[in-house]
Chains A and B, each alone.
Chain A
Amino acid sequence: MIYRFLDGLGRYFLFLGEVFHKPEHWREYSKSFFKEIELLIFSSIGLVAFISVFMGAVLTIQTAINLGDPFVPDSYIAIAVREGIILEFAPTIVSLILAGKVGSNIASTLGTMRVTEQMDALRVMGINPASYLVLPKLFACLIFNPILIVFSMALGLVGGYYAGDLLGLVNTEIYLTGYFDDFDPFFVVYSLTKTFVFAFIIATVSSFFGYNVEGGAVEVGKASTKSVVTMSFSIILFNYILTDLLLQ
């Protein structure tokens, strides 16, 4: 098992070596980059928005119920919701969801291209398939995932505010002041650093599994599943490592 893990890790780094080859033609890569933004990022906005609003709402309800004490001001509930969303829910949970949506898309797309010989076609043309197919996806994720996460944070906070208001759980004026009390901007930096690492994991791990598919449609499906499992595992692990490194 350790041998298999090390072998896989070695192949992953060799794959990254191929991906980071100097592009043959920057303009073609940039065209592909804009397509990937549409395919991977814009198509995820609705899902991220939906999850974020309800995540914020649920967090407010749970915190309000658990801190339902007349001696605890509503601004404390807001602070707890804010920290929960910024530190953990937006970067980690949304990244896990993106690993499922975007990652499986990347793995199955590349896997299908592998089994239908489209990658061989690129290689015969003299185009490096790893670089041409993966680099635009990687840059799209690295640049736009943090933007999606900031968007998710904002919507989470909005969702929390409106849930508290609609259900009459909090005094909205006091609650709102809590969102700005003792705000530490480093938490956003920490959160975006995590997102950046998670975006790298999502783009490269899913590409690695898709790129190395051998066989047919069944293997493409298996690779997609394996990639989601590996990404989830890696995100959770790196979440712990980065939290330990950045917040201690």
Chain B
Amino acid sequence: MIRVQGLQKSFGEQRVLRGIDVDFHEGQCNLIIGLSGSGKTVFLKSILGLHATDEGSISFDGRILGEMSKKEVKALRQEMGMVFQGSALFNSMTIEDNVRLPLDFFSQMTPEEKAERVRFCLDRVRIAPEAFTKTPAELSGGMQKRVAIARAIVLNPKYLFCDEPNSGLDPETAIVIDQLIHEITHEFGMTTVINTHDMNSVLEIGDHVVLLEKGKKAWEGTMDQVLQSDDSAVVDYVFRSNLFKKVRVALKNV
């Protein structure tokens, strides 16, 4: 479980996170939603330790990030996987090498075992063997995202983080990516935290949904509760689109 307590972060005069308390549970897809500029990415990067926080604590199964030694943080990082918004694959490497990089650095596996593990992960995200020797630039956006997921899970992480994994993808590919993350989360019992704007993702895989508004937690619940909620923050964010307004009315009538 990841526990965030009283998290605050400012950049100069600008307060981005204003005291966030939230728990992310194991084996769940935890979705963070909110308008652009609500602090989602800063929040995610703060949990990852990419931004130093001003106040508050972040703990990973009882281990408090701010109180850990450099060595312990390094060990913790090997329990984390991250899928970046733009995939962040290394352009100078092949797909295979991209996925193998964390193994080369942090595993004691033999080259054969590494190759086997890379094949397993790429196969798990449904990348065909013909693509293994290609470079990221030769793949479509959806395939790059899948390779990024394979790289994120190659060390068998306990915690998976995804920053807008669907951005820039067509609706069909977006659903495939969502389902893949959901399956992997349940299959490996990971604690998954996803930043998203995509309401379809919320309704498909949102085991736990947290709505951020102006750097504060405005609401939290499950995907079913989102549609039923009368909370003004949820209504303002989720039911802004006509489609979801109609869904809400239909559900109320049922």
Contacts and interface: CB of A to CB of B under 8 A. Distances in A.
B102 A125 contact: yes
A124 B104 contact: no
Q: Is the interface of B mostly helix, strand, loop or mixed?
A: mixed
B63 to A, nearest CB: 15
Contacts of A27: 104
14 contacts: A27-B104, A117-B85, A120-B88, A121-B82, A123-B50, A123-B77, A124-B80, A124-B161, A125-B77, A126-B74, A126-B75, A126-B78, A126-B105, A127-B105
Most B Cβ at <10 Å: residue of A27, A116, A121: A121
Interface string B32-45: 00000000000001
A183 to B, nearest CB: 43
A124 B105 contact: no
A11 interface: no
A28 interface: yes
A124 B74 contact: no
B84 interface: yes
A25 B50 contact: no
Interface string A105-125: 000000000001110110111
A118 B50 contact: no
Contacts of A125: 77-78, 101-102, 105-106
Nearest to B163: A117
B78 A117 contact: no
Contacts of B140: none
B86 interface: yes
Interface in A34-81: 35
Contacts of B85: 117
A118 B106 contact: no
Interface string B80-99: 11101110111010000000
A126 B88 contact: no
A35 B88 CA distance: 20
Contacts of A120: 45, 50, 82, 84, 88
B223 interface: no
Interface string A85-123: 000000000000000000000000000000011101101
A24 interface: yes
A126 B92 CA distance: 20
Given A116-B86, A117-B85, A124-B50, 6 more contacts: A27-B104, A116-B88, A118-B90, A124-B77, A125-B77, A126-B74
B53 to A, nearest CB: 16
B104 A117 contact: no
A124 B92 contact: no
Contacts of B45: 120
Contact of A117 (B84, B101, B102, B161): B84
A92 B161 CA distance: 49
B175 interface: no
A125 B161 CA distance: 12
Contact of B82 (A24, A116, A124): A124
Nearest to B97: A31
Contact of B86 (A24, A35, A117, A126): A117
B48 interface: yes
A28 B100 CA distance: 11
